A and B are shown apart, each in its own frame.
Chain A
């Protein structure tokens, strides 16, 4: 799998693409052993992919799960003190890096002890989790212990306990008072059992053990599918309806799985997930450090202390509205001019009649604005203090929207642009420095600049402009899209709206976005063997499937609930 994991950038361009490894420049297609070649006329078979079967809950998932498990109105906030995880893929749920370490073990142990102490003193809190009858229920102490262990256990482990586990925890429950010294043995049993279950591997990990089926593949069981679905779309444990569908096994049928996937997407709990996905995909957290002094006050008097936050809010409201509200498509995300503005943004977008901090739904000038790449968020993040930054706008779009195989820049010194000579536009300066005929031609001249220059109609904070240094802005260019093996499709455009429309029709772009959703929903990095799946669903997206349909298709794919033969 190591080799496959090493190919994730190439994979991300898998739809209709054939690229030379590490290649920039026109005509560098095909002919390398390590390339992903997807022939649209003969779809690549969809392969199953292996990854760790012990993905640890993220801190956010731990927090949400504890809240739901204890049926609390709000999170306890105990995970805020957990030692952080190292960075992984674009998203925070990359199972490869989510491991249990000594520091985290102790942090979680202390959080569980805090919960145990709370349960020991708070009868109302206990009442939410003890089964009907509770300590006053029928039977002897062992029967009462069994009732608690099994009712709480099935939700804590997100599956029924095995007989061995049940016996183990019943004995633990009954012996708890001798350890805690609690006067009430039932209370001691409840709180110590909760403390122990929250530290047990079936709670800590969203395990994918499954079983080998007749087809030779490892199939997740219904409870594992329920958890995978719930954590993918809600970032928390399954709800009662999902548990019921796991218990009766119906969740293993495609139609029931689809019904639940759509139910979860239609629930308000899907909103934070859509926010989280796009915030990370578009690096919107970088707005958090764009304070008032980060844009030049003379050149950009519209930039206030709250502009960056307004921009982040706009793009999140927009992506939520398109995906959940309008049940829209990737093409809508790339081309819709209907967005949300407040006074901060109205000043930049040239919208009249908007005041205050509240965001209002508005249609922007369709000749200037189309989709999130024309939002202030993307343009200001990838904009300088005074001047535009076509290089970073181009790099970001290549990497995160097209998923082009753009290699990292050369090591060592990056020569800065020469001082700004009067009478030269940013496009002219960047072209002379990095364009065709320079040593930067390979990547900058053919991939980065042609995208970045299309945004030259926006200044460093995303305000529309028609001139640069008194010279009319030139925002036309062309880009070599890799639509099929050995086939480069060079498409021209003039300005950002035309570019957005071109992007919205490219297989490469739909494959890119689909691949990101695969990473998010599956909780792992994209690998080479995902090519066939990404190719198929990317084409669905290209032909008009909504973002929700793309997500559901990923969940219904065999790769979601199966692992390759034998597996790991």
Chain B
């Protein structure tokens, strides 16, 4: 019995709990369902400003080993110090790399591997390249979600057309589109004003009668003997997409926040709003986890090679992609951007502050003796290690929450140059995914890669 059913079991009707209201009183009773585990992935683009060539280290904590509020406070010059309030609940990991080369475009190839640990397509190539495997958020949803619910796939910022979505894959080359409008995302999951029971029942009956008709039509099509395997897959996906009306979940954001989302809706793709849209998406992700709608979610911040003009100290900066190259150009030639490395560092901090906002939201839902954050993992990662070099080494993994005690928190460790499949295995296992033999997940990603978890991350 997952949380959603549990909440419905309270009386069958939609019950609007106010934002931030604790769930602890109910969830701590004997006989309650096991903790709802989840994984959330936030993705920053263009690498981070960590040590590379002559540029100094400004990202990772200053020393391996234990991290705490005190140690991170002392590391104020490091971007990760933005998370000092969560020091003891963090697992920060360097020394993880993408296993495969890109195919002509470092950004695209990094995005392809970011959550998949799979190879980059030969064709299409360049900025159009695609992953050759499914992503971890998809695997988690496929394995753990009830009723085939999809992972939550969200986006903030503009879609500039060069590379848009990069993160979530249903399977090889099957990139999932991401929702960039928080109002759309919210209303799709939670509805607006809860209708009366009678109206809801009527709507559900209408939906079901139409769906039954559509199911019959789809079955007739699927019975055709002359379908190619590709078309059969296509129609199967359609058939399995038919959903009867789900009673919207019994949690809501405050009306003021919903109004803000509604006002943001027409301008949600404007890059100037990227930070606020990111925070709104974090509100939705946290609420979705509290409601047990899905066990996995992604939030992609910025397009493939994020060309947002971030604002630092009230001043709009050059495009982030250009800052990451340190020149006024998306290519190789251009005038140098003054203080580009420092600007990149400040943009790293912006992303860490968005991540902290998510952690604050998750931490505001009280569950048992702890909070929702402790039950799952929230991960801030990147599809590159660094911007100038387009490096696939030292990909940032800043992980919060211990997945109910699976991960050893309060540490910064160097995984020693392992490939990212081992990170994916560890995170998948942490939330309860299994391999084919029923043991903890240890074989995610490309089959040529060395299996296993990153042992030092575990308790």
Contacts and interface: CB of A to CB of B under 8 A. Distances in A.
Interface in A180-223: 180-181, 192, 195-196, 199-202, 204
**Chain A interface: which size bin?**
35 or more
B176 A102 contact: no
Nearest to A566: B226
Contacts of A285: 160-161
Interface string A539-568: 000000000000000000000000000011
A104 B238 CA distance: 10
B316 interface: yes
Contacts of B216: 168
Contacts of B226: 567-568
A412 interface: yes
Given A54-B234, A408-B103, A430-B333, A100 B241 contact: yes
A205 to B, nearest CB: 9
A106 B211 CA distance: 11
Contact of B241 (A102, A391, A413, A567): A102
A81 to B, nearest CB: 5
B326 A416 contact: yes
Interface in A375-404: 384-387, 389, 391-392
Interface in B185-218: 188, 202-203, 205-207, 209-211, 213-214, 216-218
B210 A196 contact: yes
B175 interface: yes
A205 B221 CA distance: 12
B327 A416 contact: yes
Given A86-B175, A99-B238, A414-B390, A179 B205 contact: yes
A52 interface: yes
B292 interface: no
Contacts of A386: 328, 335
B254 interface: no
Contact of B210 (A192, A392, A407): A192
Contacts of B327: 416-417
Contact of B213 (A168, A385, A411): A168
B227 A568 contact: yes
- The contact size tier of chain B is 35 or more
B437 to A, nearest CB: 29
B150 A53 contact: no
Contacts of B243: 102, 105-106, 109
A87 B126 CA distance: 14
B103 A199 contact: no
Contacts of B451: none
A414 B103 CA distance: 14
Q: Which of A192, A285, A414 has the most CB of B within 10 A?
A: A414
A103 B228 CA distance: 25
Interface string A409-424: 1111111110110000
A568 B331 contact: no
Given A192-B206, A286-B160, A417-B334, A384 B329 contact: yes
B242 interface: yes
Nearest to A169: B213
B104 interface: yes
B333 A6 contact: no
B164 interface: yes
B209 A433 contact: no
A293 B336 CA distance: 16
A320 interface: no
A83 interface: yes
B188 A392 contact: no
Nearest to B53: A413
A91 interface: no
30 contacts: A5-B123, A52-B234, A86-B176, A86-B177, A87-B128, A97-B175, A99-B237, A102-B148, A102-B243, A103-B179, A107-B188, A109-B210, A168-B216, A192-B209, A196-B209, A196-B214, A289-B271, A385-B329, A385-B335, A389-B333, A411-B101, A411-B390, A413-B389, A416-B327, A416-B333, A416-B334, A417-B333, A426-B333, A433-B332, A567-B226
